[in-house]
Structure 1
Amino acid sequence: MQIALSDMRLQHFSREWMYFRVTLVFFVGLILNHGLIASDNKSEASQLLDSIETAIDAGEMSLADGLLESAAAWLYDHADSELRFRFYHNKARWLRHGWQLKDAMEAAQRALSIAVQRGDTIMLTDAHAEVATILSSQNRHNDALEHFQRAVEYCGDRDVDFLQKLKTNLASTYQHTDQYSKALEILLEVRHFFQQTENQDRLAVIENNLGDLYSRDLREFDLAARHFHRARVLNIETENTYRLAQNKHNLSLMYQKKGALDSAFYYARRSIALREELEMPAAMAIALNGLAYLHIENNDLDSAEKAFKETLRLSEEHGIDPGFYHANKGLGEVYLRKNYVQRAQSRFEQALMAAQRMGAFQLKREMLERLVTFFKETGQFKDALVYHERLKAFNDSLQNELARQELAAAMQRYQTGSLLDGSGGNPSETAHEPERVFFQRKVIIALSLLGVLLATVVVLLTRLVRMRKKSLLIEKEAHGRLRAQHEEIKRQERELMESNRLKNRIISVLSHDLRAPLANISSLLRMMDDQSLHEKQFKEWLGMLQNQTETSLTTLNNILNWSHTAQGQVVSRPSDIRTDGFIETLKELFDNSARLKDVNLKFVNRGCALIHADETQLKSIATNVITNALKFSPRGGTVTVTISETATFTVLEVEDSGEGMEQNLIDALPHRERLSSAVGTFGEKGTGVGLIIVRDLVEAHRGKLTIERNSNGGTTVRVELPRAGLVMN
C-alpha cells in the first residue's frame, strides 16, 4: 500500500510543482505588500497603546475606555505578542481603577501568560506587579506578597526608580499581612534612596506611608503625626494637591483613632474641600465616607446619613463600585441605629450585590457575616440561618477557587522557570518536541487532578475541623455552666452556714444578757406599783429602772450593729464633723452615767477643728469605747477622752483608771468573732461585742485600733482615723 501511494505521488509531482511555483510567486508579492501595511499598522497600534497608558496615568478613564475599544478591534486581526501584552496589561489597569476586579484579574493573567511565553523580564515585572496590585485590592494580601516579591526579583537593578516604587508597594503588603518590622525596614530604605536622589514627590509618598504604618498598626500617634506633617510640607512644596488631600484624609483617620474628634473633623473637611477643587469623584467618595463614620462616632446620625447619601450619589454617577458598597453598608448601619430595620436590610443587601460585582472576596464575606449578625440582632433567626448557609457555601467555594489559583500559579512558575533558563533550541530538542509536549500535557492533567483532589480534601477537613470545634465549644460551655452552678451552690452554702452561726450567736446573747435586765425591770415595776412607797425610795428605784432600760437598749443596739458588720454590710460615708459639737454630744450622753457612778469624765481637744468620718459610725465608736471605760472604772475613778491630730490621722484616745483589760483578750481581738459577756465594777452586764464593733468600724474607715494595758492600772484605747484627702492601705 505504501509503494502504491509513492507511485501516485511521483506521477502527479511535475504538475503539482508547476502549480506551487505560480502560487509561491503570488503569495510572496502579497506578503511583501502586507508586510509594509502591517508595519505601518503596528506603529499606529503602538502609538495607540502609548495614548492608553498616558490616559490611565492621568486618570482620564473615559478616554482610556474608548482607546481600548479601538485597540481591541485592531488586535482581533493581529497576533503581535508584545502589543497584545501591552493591551491586556493596560486593560487590567483600567478595569482595576473601575474596581471591576474579577475582569481585571483575567486581563492581568493573560498579560502574565504572554510574558511567560516570551520570557521577557520587563514584561514579567509589569505583569506580576499588576496581578499583585489587583490581589491587594481584593484584600488577598498574602497572595499579593508573592507576586510583588517576584516583580522585585525580575526588575533587579535595571530600573532603580521603578524598583523603589515596587518596594514601596511591597512594604504596604507586608503592612497588611502584619509584618510591620519588614514594612518599616523597607520604607526607611526607600526613604533614604529618595532623600539621596532628592525626589521630593516620591519622598512625600513614603512619609505618608510611614505615618499610616505608625498610626494604623503601631499606634504610635506622635511619630505618625510627625511623618504626616513632613508629607504635608513636601506636597505643598511640590504643589501636589491630590496627595495633599490624601494627607489630610490620613490625618483625620489618625485623630479619629486617638479619640480627638474635633481634629478629625477639621482634617476630614479640609480633605473634602481640596478634592472638590480637583473634581475627583472617587476621592471625594472616600473622603465623604470617612466623614460619615466620624458623624456616627459623634452620634450625629442625620449628618452621617447625609454624607453616606452623597457618597452613594457620586458612586452611582461615576460607576465607583467600592463607593457604592461602602455607602450602602454605612447607610445600613445608620438605619439600624435609627431602628429602621427594613431600610437597613435593603442597604446591606445592596452592599452585598456591589461586592459580588467587584469580585472582592473579602468584602463579600464581610457583608455575608454582617447580614448574619443583623438578622440575629433583629430576631429574624430564619433569615440568619439562610445567610449563615450562604456564608458557609461561599467560604467553601472560596477555598476551591484559591486552590485552583494556587495550582495555576504553580504551573505558571514552572513554565517561567522553563522559559527563562537560557536554553536554546538545538536540533535534538526539536526532534523530541512532540514527546515533550505530550509529556507536559500529562503533567498538566496530573497536576489538575491533584489540585481538584487537594481542594476536595481541604473542604472535607475544614468541615470536620469546624464540626469538631463546634462540639468542643458546646462541651466547654456545658462544663462552664456546671462549674458556675457548683460555685454558686458552694457560695450559697457558705452564706447559709454563716447566717446560721450569726443567728445562734444572737439567740445565745439575747437569752443570756437580756433576760436578767428585763426580769429586773419587771420586778421594779411591780414594786413601784405599791402605794406605800416613799418618794426617796421611788426616785431610787426609778433610777435603777432607767439604768436597766438603758442597759437593755445598749445591748440591743450593739447586737444589731454587730450583726451588720458580721454580714459585711458596713459602708462608710465620711464627712467633716466639727470637733467641739461632737464633744458636746458625748458630754450629754455620758454626764449622767458618770455622775451616777461617781466617775470623773474629762474631754480634752488638742487643737483639732474637724474630724473626717462617718458621723453615725464615729458616734458608735466613741460610745462603745467610753461605755467600756465607765463600766470598768471604780467609784472615784477618772476617764479621760482626748481628741488630737497628727500629720496623717485624727486620734480619739480614751483612758480609764480601772483594773485594766486582760492581755490575752487584747491579743485575741484582731481574730475574735465569738460573743462573750463581761461584768462591770457595779455589776453592769454587756454582750462583749462593743470592741468588735469598734474594730470593724475603724477598719471600714481604713484606720487603726490600738489597746494598751497601762502600767499603773487601767486601759488606753486609741482610735486613729485618716484625715480628709488621705486613704490608708
Structure 2
Amino acid sequence: MFIQYYLSYGSLIVLLAFGITSNSLLAQGIKRDSLLKELHIKRTTANLTSIDTLFINNIIELANEYRHHDLDSLLSLSQESLKLSKKASFINGQIGSYRNIGIFYSDKGNIDQAIYNYKKANNLADNHKSLHLKVETLNDLSTEYNYQGNYALALKGYLDAIEIAEKLDFKSFLSIINENIAQLYLDQKDYKHAMVFFKKVNAINEEIGNPIYMAETMSNMASAYADMNELEYAMFNINSSITIFEKERILEWLAYCYETKGKIYLKMGKNTWALYWYKQSELLHKEIEDDRGKIALLNGMSEAYFNIRKDSVSELYALAAFDLSNKIGLRTGIKNCTYQLFKIYKNRADYKKSLLYHEIFQETSKSLAKSGNEKALNILKTKMEYDQQKKQLIIENEKALAKQKTYIYIFVIILFIFLAIVLIIRRNEQIQKKLNTELLSNKLDLEEKQEYLNELNQTKNKLFSIIGHDLRGPIGAFQGLLRLFKEGEMTKDEFLNFVPKLKIDIDTISFTLNNLLSWGQTQMNGSATTPIATNLYSIVEENIALLSEIAESKSIKLISRIESNCQIWADFNQVDIIIRNLLSNALKFTPNNGQIIIGAIQKLKTCEIYIKDNGMGMSEETMGEIFKIDSNHTTYGTNDEKGTGLGLSLCKEMVEKNKGRIWVHSSLGKGSSFYFTMPRFIKPNKKSA
C-alpha cells in the first residue's frame, strides 16, 4: 500500500511562496548574519591573534553557507581562512579551506582546479593521520573524478574511503559514499546494482536515524525509479522526501525534488502538472547557485512546453540549457538540449538549424556512449583489482599470523625454561628469605610511615599554599581598607562603596574555607560518609537561593529541573558541598546573560544529576586535569573570579565515597556539562499482614 501526498493547487502556491522560500531564506540569512556579526566583532577586537582557530572555523562555516547563494563570497572567504590557517599552522582549517575552494571550482565547472584543491586537502588529512577528514576528502575527490569522466579513479577512491569509514564506524559518510557508488551504476543504466547500493544506504540511514539523510536518499531513488518507469515508486519516494525538506527548509534539495517530481509527471504524460513542479523548482533556483541541477530543470521544462505545442517557449529553455551545459562542460546536458532543439527546428521546417543541432546531438551521443563503455569496463576492472588487493592482503595477514604463532611457540618454550630456573632459585632462596623476613617487614613498615608522612606534608603544603595565595590577598585587602578607614584617610561614604565588594570577598573566603576544611578532612581520613535518605530537590533549591546574588550580578538564569520527590541515598552534607561547588564553578565560567540548568534523571538504581552551562568550555587537556587530586589547575572566571582549584577534586572524592562517579562533557566556546551519579533511595516494600 502506498501513501500519496496531495495538496490543493492554491494552498501549495501559498506554502511555496511564503512558507518555504521566504522562511527558508530568512532562516539561512539569519544564520549568515549571525556569523558575519561574530566575525566582525572578532576582527575589530584588539586581542585577536593569528592562532584564533574558532575565528577561522567561523569563516569556513560562513563560506560554506554561501555555496548555493554567492560563489564569489565562498571563494574570497575560503582564501582568507586558508591564509589564516597557514599562519596559525591550523591543519583542520587548511583542509576545510581547500575543500571549500574545491567546491567553488567544481560548481563553476573548472574540474581540474577542483581536483587540485581536493588533492591538497586529501594529502593534508593523510599526512596528519586525520582519518575522518581523509574519508571526507576522498569522497570529494572521487566525486570530482566522476565529473571528469575518470571513473576508475572515482570508484577506487570510493572503495578506499569505505574501507576506512567501516573501520571508524563513520556511518554518515558510509551512507554518502555508497549512494555515490549507486549513482555510478545509474549513469550506466545498471539499475539492478544501483538499487543494491541504495538498499545498503537505506539500512545505514535507519541506523543513523537522521531524517535529512533518508530524504536525500529517497529523492535520488525517486529519480532512479522515474528513469526505470517505476512511476508509482518514484512518486512515493519523492513525496516523502519533499515532506522532510519542506519541514527542514533545505532549498537546494527542495529544488532538486521539485524538478524530479516534474520529471515523474512528464513521464506520466501529465505535462501541465510537470510544468507546475518545474516552475516551483525554477523559483528556488533564482535564490541558489546550482548550475548542474538547473540544466536538468531547463531541459525538462523545454520538453514539457514542446509536448503542449509551445515551441517558442520550449526553444528558450533549450537554448538556455545549451549555453549553461557548454559553460560547465556537461555533455549529458548538451545531448538532451540539442535533441530537443533538433525537434523544435524540425517542427518549424528550419532544416538548417535542425541539422546543425542533430549533428551536435549525434557527436555528443557517440562520445557519451564510448565514455559509457569505458566507464563500465573501468568500474569492473577497478572492482576486480580492488578485490584482488583485498585477497592479497588477507594472504599476507595469514602469513604474518603464522609467523607470529611461531614466535609465540618459541616464547612459550623460553618461558617454561625460565620458570624452571626460577623454581630452582626459589628453593635456594627459602632459607635466605626466612632470615630476611624480619628485616623486610621493618623496612616496609618504615616505608609506609615515610609515605604517610610525605602525604601529610604534601597536604600541609597544599593547605598553606592555598591559604597564602587565595586567602591572604582578600584578607589583606580587607585589613588595608579598615586601616584607611580607621586612620581617617577614607570617608564613611567611600568605605560603604566598598561594602558590596567586601561582601563578595568574605563570601569567597567563607566558601574557600569550607572547601579547605572538607578537603583537609578527606585527605587526613577524618571525614566519615553517612548515607541517609536525602531530598535532592531541597538541597538544590537552598544552593540556588545561596548563589542567587552572584547569578543576578552576572544576569545568569539558574534553572532547576529537579523533581520535588527526587530522593537519593547519600551523605546530606557531602551532596550539599558537591552541588554548591559545581554550581559555583558554572557561575564562575558562564558569561553575563548566560544560563545554567541543573536536573536529574532517575534511573532504576541510580540518579544521574547534571549541571549544564553555556560558558567558556574546556579543552581536552583541561578536562584531563581538573579532577586530579594533585593538580594545581586554577582558572579565572569570565569576570576574573578566582578559585582554589580544590572544588572539583573534592567533588570527585565525595562522589566516589557515596558510591557514584563524576564526569564532564565540554568543548571550547560551547559550555560544559558536569554529570555525577548517586544511589537512589528505594523505599522498602511493606509486608502484607
State the TM-score bracket (shorter-chain normalisation): 0.3 to 0.5
Bigger relative contact order, structure 1 or 2, given CA contacts below 8 A and separation 6+?
A: 2
Q: TM-score, normalised by structure 1?
A: 0.38
TM-score normalised over the length of structure 2: 0.40
